[in-house]
Amino acid sequence: MSEGKRVLAFVAHPDDAEILCAGTLIKLHQLGWEVHIATATAGDCGTLSLSSTEISQQRKQEATDAAALINAKYHCLEELDGKVCYSESTLNKVYSLFREVCPTIVLTHSELDYMMDHVEVAKLARAASFIHSAPNVSTTPCRYQASVPHLYYCDSVGGTDIYGKALPYSNYVDIAGEMTLKTQMLLCHKSQDEWLREYHGVDEYVSSMQAQCRERGTECKAQYAEGFIQHLGHGYPSDDILSKLFNENEEICHAV
């Protein structure tokens, strides 16, 4: 692995990365990148029958199994479902995670996603991406020389913001060739397939993910795609690294 080729998908719950950005993670893995998937929680509320300890253990193992399919490392910050918040204690965990990984690319939730855990994780990712390399922000040593990474917000679950409007995507990554493996990664999360059927009445766990990727693909004239919004605030890289990485093979297209 070349220095600096590290991507961190920092999301709220096990299976969020598989739904929203696994295709892009697969492509980066294929290019020799070191891939990390981190969740704020272990998914302790994702059950109607197991204890929080039992479901957390199961979901962390499912996340580990999914990550292993692309030789990725899984991390869990052990926060609680429905209680993720932008607080000093949580920020300290996130700073330590970012200093351990020292990512070049960070993928996280949309700040306008439907669930507050997702929104809080987006805020935490934004904070940590900007300041995790400051020497005094954490006692955790930086694994490598750290800097402000490229930050991208993923598609929202369901494909719209909290007002029902489409997100203003800056990038689409063509993942037609990665859909089979992306689906296999999502299928590792067997407990969530059961949870969605029992609690939400949703019996289309995998097909819903595939339909959303198909919709993003239609928007950029691909069979399947994942949509992203690049964070371009002061202090962040202004070049579009996803375009640079994939554009040669026409595997990324800009929003139109």
Decide if 101 contacts 36 (C-beta within 8 A): yes
pLDDT per residue over 72-125, tens digit each? 999 999 999 999 999 999 999 999 999 999 999 999 999 999 999 999 999 999
Range with the poorest average pLDDT among 99-103, 107-111, 215-219, 247-251: 247-251
Predicted local confidence at residue 47, as pLDDT = 83
Beta carbons within 8 Å of 137's beta carbon, 6+ residues apart = 95, 131
Predicted local confidence at residue 205, as pLDDT = 79
Structural Rg of the chain based on CA atoms:
17
Predicted local confidence at residue 48, as pLDDT = 82
Q: What is the DSSP string of 124-191?
A: HHHHHHHHTTSGGG-SSPPSS---PPEEEEEPPTTSB-TTSPBP--SEEEE-GGGHHHHHHHHHT-HH
Predicted local confidence at residue 136, as pLDDT = 97
Predicted local confidence at residue 256, as pLDDT = 46
What are residue 74's DSSP bridge partners?
Answer: 37
Confidence band (pLDDT; 50, 70, 90) for 70?
Answer: very high
- Three-state DSSP at 214 gives helix
Distance CA 216, CA 173 (A): 9
Confidence band (pLDDT; 50, 70, 90) for 249?
Answer: very low
Beta carbons within 8 Å of 13's beta carbon, 6+ residues apart = 39, 40, 41, 43, 46, 59, 81, 117
Average the pLDDT over 166-177 and give the result. Answer: 96
Is the pLDDT higher at 11 or at 191? Answer: 11
Predicted local confidence at residue 247, as pLDDT = 78
- Three-state DSSP at 99 gives helix
- Tokens for 237? 């890289």
Distance CA 107, CA 9 (A): 5
> Which fold, 6-248?
Rossmann fold (3.40.50)
